């Protein structure tokens, strides 16, 4: 079976295959990715291990003593061919309370100035958009949220912070995200949420999942 | 259950098994032993399942009290201690094992007959230190910690002895092409495969930053973030390669010139700061053959 023409297979290592389902960050590409992830989580293929989803691609790790890149591509072709028919669960809508600016958003003033706006205007614009959780990556529970208004797109900090406080909300390029744990990070911080993003002892562990629709509601901490 | 008292934790000692697949969609990497060959061999020696949880010591070992006694084996790099490496040893009740600094590579495993019993997280005992998950309270061991010895055995204690030399850690790492290998001009690829790289002080379970001849990437290296495999060699701006390791981030946006083959991942776990490594390219079929040979050797040893 021939896979659809929008699929590209690249061996990323001797034990992993990178399946690219489109060449741009776009809702249509994201839907394919969600459907492929959904199928693979539901119908486990033999020898397949960890799955690493991203914007336009899924990295599939596998046991190379049990299968090969070519065999895996063959196993994936029928799944890819029926992606159109997959009915995904309705995306969940998640509202996240967010304190904008001040001590909780150390980069807010500079970011606002870069866009010739006031911090209040940035907060207004950031909280009026509906975001999509494209994928979780980087660290446990970190969701890459797409749908940032073009006017707020800002490059990363030239030098990343050594430590970003838990719950910080940042902007990097045309994406926004929330730090579930305290890690190093180069996103520009505009605020902080008191809501825990990742709780390993609970089900589900992560507040956000791939495909969720996310809104921020301004609060005062 | 019999206990282990951590009297001195050493530099960085964690509970590790063979890692946890399945967390990728949540951004959780597999973690697991930095030298899975040593972990498996250590477990075989004491009659455990190969993937039983053991203690992974880094550069400097610890002091461990066994109030109830135990059967243990040390596997991996040669750390200073009074018992021989690669041999099952009966520790009498009340005795203490002292493990000192390394005399060879970065990591040595203390395997205990029955395994280390900790609560599993997503099916694995592995500590993921960065995110505070798994193992003993999601962190490296501290003085005063008490661990329990489990009862997961599959057979008798085996006859010890050094493992076959073909399983020894390598300083020439075999790699396959990374997904962006052709983003690097021929001159950069030649440099990568023909010069030695030094392991810097920034080398841990997340990744190893290397120092050496800088590599350049065409078109500035801007790419859409994608999933990254264990052993990926990514090259950020600045041109110094980084090997992503067991507690890696699951996705990344830097171009990857190469990827360490599965058979040589254990060798990465034995690299120390200031070690020099070189890279040798192999194709996928060779990588698979080398892994199969390695598997056969592991199964035949002990």
Closest in A18, A49, A61 to B226, CB measured: A18
CB-based contacts of B168, cutoff 8 Å, min separation 6: none
The token duo for B263 is 């058979």
A40 and A67 share one domain = yes
Count of A–B CB contacts within 8 Å?
143
Q: Give the confidence band of B156 by pLDDT, cuts at 50, 70, 90.
A: very high
A146 and A208 share one domain = yes
Looking at residue A3, its pLDDT comes to: 83
Residue A44, in any domain of the structure: yes
Nearest CA in chain A to B178: A12
Put the strands of the sheet holding A57-62 in their side by side order. A8-13, A16-20, A57-62, A48-53
- From A126's Cα to the closest Cα of chain B, the distance in A is 23
Out of A85, A109, A133, a domain closes at A85
The three-point CA angle B247-B248-B254 to 5° equals 170
Q: Could A140 and B28 be called an inter-chain contact, meaning their C-beta atoms sit closer than 8 Å? A: yes
* Mean pLDDT of all residues in A97-113: 97
Q: Taking 90 as the threshold, does the pLDDT of residue B181 lie above it?
A: yes
CB-based contacts of A158, cutoff 8 Å, min separation 6: none
Q: Measuring CA to CA, which residue among B64, B42, B69 is closest to residue B53? A: B42
A98 and A192 share one domain = yes
Whether the CB of A210 is below 8 Å from some CB of chain B: the reply is yes
A203 and A110 share one domain = yes
Q: Taking 80 as the threshold, does the pLDDT of residue B88 lie above it?
A: yes
Q: Residue B170 and residue B263: Cα distance in Å, rounded?
A: 10
Residue A202, in any domain of the structure: yes
Looking at residue B248, its pLDDT comes to: 94
Angstrom CA distances, A43 to A33, A79, A134, A167, stand at 15, 10, 22, 34
A12 and A65 share one domain = yes
Q: Could A56 and B226 be called an inter-chain contact, meaning their C-beta atoms sit closer than 8 Å? A: yes
Looking at residue B130, its pLDDT comes to: 81
A79 and A110 share one domain = no
Q: Is A77 in contact with A1 (CB distance < 8 Å)? A: yes
Pairing verdict, β B276-281 and B172-177: parallel
Residue ranges of domains in chain B: 3-163, 166-300
A81 and A108 share one domain = no
A102 and A17 share one domain = no
Tell me the CATH number at A151: 2.40.100.10
Q: Residue B157 and residue B87: Cα distance in Å, rounded?
A: 10
A156 and A71 share one domain = no
What domain count does chain A have? 2
Q: Is A215 in contact with A98 (CB distance < 8 Å)? A: no
B203: left (phi over 0), alpha (psi -120 to 50) or beta: beta
Q: Is A208 in contact with A118 (CB distance < 8 Å)? A: no
Looking at residue A25, its pLDDT comes to: 87
Q: Residue A105 and residue A119: Cα distance in Å, rounded?
A: 10
Q: Suggest the residue from A8, A9, A15, A62 to mutate for an interface test with chain B (most B CBs closer than 10 A).
A: A15
Out of A35, A58, A85, a domain closes at A85
Angstrom CA distances, A87 to A31, A34, A82, A83, stand at 11, 11, 11, 9
Whether the CB of A179 is below 8 Å from some CB of chain B: the reply is no
pTM of the model: 0.94
Interface of A with B in 68-97 (CB under 8 A): 68-69
Looking at residue A156, its pLDDT comes to: 86
Looking at residue B224, its pLDDT comes to: 87
Nearest CA in chain B to A173: B224
Out of A55, A85, A115, a domain closes at A85
Residue A186, in any domain of the structure: yes
The three-point CA angle B273-B279-B283 to 5° equals 140
> What kind and span of H or E run contains B38?
helix B36-45
CATH class of B166-300: mainly beta
* Mean pLDDT of all residues in A39-68: 94
Q: What are the pLDDT digits (tens) for A161-174?
A: 989 999 999 999 88
Window from A11-15, A26-30, B193-197 with minimum mean pLDDT: A26-30
Structural domain boundaries, residue A144: 93-218
Q: What are the pLDDT digits (tens) for B208-266?
A: 999 999 999 987 767 889 999 999 999 988 899 999 999 999 998 889 999 999 999 99
Nearest CA in chain B to A142: B27
Residue A2, in any domain of the structure: no
Q: Residue A36 and residue A33: Cα distance in Å, rounded?
A: 5
Tell me the CATH number at A79: 3.30.1360.40
């Amino acid at each position: 079976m021939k896979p659809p023409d929008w699929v590209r297979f690249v061996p990323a290592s001797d034990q992993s295959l990178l399946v690219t389902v489109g060449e741009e960050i776009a809702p249509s590409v994201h839907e394919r990715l969600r459907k492929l992830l959904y199928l693979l989580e539901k119908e486990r293929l033999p020898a397949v291990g960890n799955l690493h989803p991203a914007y336009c691609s899924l990295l599939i790790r596998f046991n190379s003593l049990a299968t090969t890149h070519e065999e895996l591509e063959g196993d994936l072709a029928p799944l890819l061919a029926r992606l159109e028919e997959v009915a995904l669960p309705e995306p969940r809508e998640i509202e996240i309370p967010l304190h904008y600016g001040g001590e909780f958003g150390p980069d807010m003033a500079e970011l606002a100035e870069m866009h010739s706006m006031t911090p209040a205007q940035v907060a207004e614009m950031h909280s009026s958009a509906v975001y999509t959780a494209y994928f979780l990556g980087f660290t446990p529970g970190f969701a890459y949220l797409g749908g940032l208004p073009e006017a707020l797109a800002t490059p990363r900090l030239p030098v990343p912070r050594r430590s970003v406080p838990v719950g910080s909300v940042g902007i990097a390029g045309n994406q926004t995200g929330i730090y579930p744990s305290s890690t190093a990070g180069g996103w520009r911080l505009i605020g902080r949420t008191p809501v825990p993003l990742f709780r390993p002892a609970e089900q589900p562990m992560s507040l956000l999942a791939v495909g969720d629709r996310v809104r921020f509601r301004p609060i005062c901490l | 259950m019999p206990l282990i008292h951590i009297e001195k934790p050493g530099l960085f000692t964690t509970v590790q098994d063979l890692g946890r697949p399945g967390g990728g969609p949540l951004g959780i990497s597999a973690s697991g032993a930095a030298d899975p060959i040593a972990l498996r061999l250590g477990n075989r020696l004491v009659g455990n399942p190969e993937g039983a949880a053991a203690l992974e010591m880094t550069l400097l070992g610890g002091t461990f009290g066994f109030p109830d006694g135990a059967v243990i084996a040390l596997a991996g790099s040669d750390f200073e201690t009074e018992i021989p490496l690669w041999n099952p040893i009966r520790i009498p009740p009340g005795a203490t094992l002292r493990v000192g600094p390394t005399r060879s590579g970065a990591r040595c495993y203390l395997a205990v007959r029955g395994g280390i019993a900790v609560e599993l997280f997503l099916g694995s005992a592995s500590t993921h230190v960065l995110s505070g998950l798994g193992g003993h309270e999601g962190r490296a061991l501290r003085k005063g910690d008490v661990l329990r010895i489990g009862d997961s055995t599959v057979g008798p204690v085996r006859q010890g002895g050094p493992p076959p030399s073909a399983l020894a850690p390598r300083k020439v790492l075999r790699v396959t092409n990374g997904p962006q290998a052709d983003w690097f001009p021929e001159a950069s690829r030649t440099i990568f495969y023909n010069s030695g790289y030094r392991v810097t002080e920034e080398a841990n379970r997340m990744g190893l930053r290397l120092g050496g001849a800088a590599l350049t990437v065409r078109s500035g290296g801007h790419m859409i973030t994608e999933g990254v495999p264990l052993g990926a060699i990514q090259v950020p701006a600045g041109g110094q390669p980084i090997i992503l390791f067991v507690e890696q981030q699951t996705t990344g946006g830097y171009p990857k010139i190469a990827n360490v083959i599965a058979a040589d991942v254990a060798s990465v776990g034995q690299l120390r700061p200031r070690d020099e490594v070189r890279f040798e390219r192999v194709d996928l079929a060779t990588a698979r053959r080398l892994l199969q040979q390695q598997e056969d050797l592991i199964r035949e040893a002990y």
